[in-house]
């Protein structure tokens, strides 16, 4: 578990559900992940699967001796709903779709470079939700240092997490350092580089450790103090991505560190137009 800046604990690996749009497949994947031992599920309004995610959670809780309080469920407000009142409504909508009594953590999905005032109003709404006890933690995604500084200088609550694109090819070291210094946990979306794992050096490390390349990359994230959010709808992969009870030695870590190219797969948060 990682400790968030408000004292809440968050499981170190989350199960991502982006692109899991087939309802039955998504529901089964979430249920399978929970059965395997994941306790942190990450979704978003824009994924269009909150209802399926919720059904997977509900089915799991009904059939297993695990309480809702042991799970950590996260969703995000989409760009079109940014603004104070619209965010409050979006939260209720997500809650309804998930079919849960509460959401553990609510995140802003992207800053809006064309209208950052809307993003700040969205943060104000998240603070309202947090203070009223509707969510246990609030955070952001895809924010750079200048965004985080604005929130920290103008608002009461420091984001609990910053979920950003981060993987061996985009290590975002300066941003990670800033987040560490300010008690913000860094979550990594696309930790497996959207499947770009065909790399000779990584394959050698995988062979040496008798693991898959995906496991090596996820373990690198954990040893860096990052929170990866791998996603898969294949049961064997879901299981594999959770079996990370081994240690990468210093040479392995240094080698993976050396792969950094600061190369994005996704868009630059300062340049998005959606």
Name all domains of the chain by residue range, CATH numbers in brackets: 8-198+226-243 (3.20.20.100)
Annotated binding site for substrate: 109
Annotated binding site: 109
What are the backbone angles phi and psi of residue 167, rounded to the nearest 5°? -165, 180
From residue 120, alpha-carbon distances to 116, 127, 231 in Å are 6, 11, 29
Per-residue pLDDT of the chain (274 residues; tens, 9 = 90+): 999 999 999 999 999 999 887 999 999 999 999 999 999 999 999 999 999 999 999 999 999 999 999 999 999 999 999 999 999 999 999 999 999 999 999 999 999 999 999 999 999 999 999 999 999 999 999 999 999 999 999 999 999 999 999 999 999 999 999 999 999 999 999 999 977 788 999 999 999 999 999 999 999 999 999 999 999 999 999 999 999 999 999 999 999 999 999 999 999 999 999 9
Three-state SS annotation for 32-94? HHHHHCCCEEECCHHHCCHHHHHHHHHHHHHHCCCCHHHCEEEEEECHHHCCHHHHHHHHHHH
Q: Which of 38, 47, 91, 106 is catalytic?
A: 47
50 vs 92: CA distance, rounded Å: 12
Task: Clarify whether 91 is annotated catalytic.
Answer: no
> Is residue 173 classed as helix, strand or coil in its secondary structure?
helix
pTM higher than 0.95: yes
Identify the DSSP state of 115: -
């Amino acid at each position: 578990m990682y400790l968030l800046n408000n004292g809440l604990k968050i499981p170190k690996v989350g199960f991502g559900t982006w692109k899991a749009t087939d309802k039955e497949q998504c529901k089964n994947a979430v249920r399978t992940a929970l059965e395997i031992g994941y306790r942190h599920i990450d979704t978003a309004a824009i994924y269009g699967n909150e209802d399926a995610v919720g059904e997977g959670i509900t089915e799991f809780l009904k059939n297993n001796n695990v309480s809702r309080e042991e799970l950590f469920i996260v969703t995000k407000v989409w760009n079109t709903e940014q603004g104070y009142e619209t965010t409050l409504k979006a939260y209720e909508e997500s809650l309804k779709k998930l079919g849960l009594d509460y959401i553990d953590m609510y995140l802003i999905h992207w800053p809006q470079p064309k209208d950052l005032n809307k993003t700040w109003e969205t943060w104000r709404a998240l603070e309202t939700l947090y203070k009223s006890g509707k969510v246990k933690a609030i955070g952001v995604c895809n924010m750079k240092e200048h965004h985080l500084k604005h929130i920290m200088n103008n608002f009461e609550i420091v984001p609990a997490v910053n979920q950003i694109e981060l993987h061996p090819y985009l290590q975002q070291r300066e941003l990670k350092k800033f987040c560490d210094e300010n008690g913000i946990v860094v979550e990594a979306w696309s930790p497996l580089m959207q499947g770009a794992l065909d790399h000779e050096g990584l394959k050698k490390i995988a062979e040496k450790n008798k693991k898959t390349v995906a496991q090596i990359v996820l373990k690198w994230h954990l040893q860096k103090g990052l929170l990866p959010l791998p996603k898969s709808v294949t049961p064997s992969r879901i299981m594999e991505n959770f079996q990370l009870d081994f240690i990468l030695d210093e040479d392995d870590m240094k080698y993976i560190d050396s792969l950094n190219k600061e190369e994005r797969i996704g868009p630059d948060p300062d340049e998005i137009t959606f």
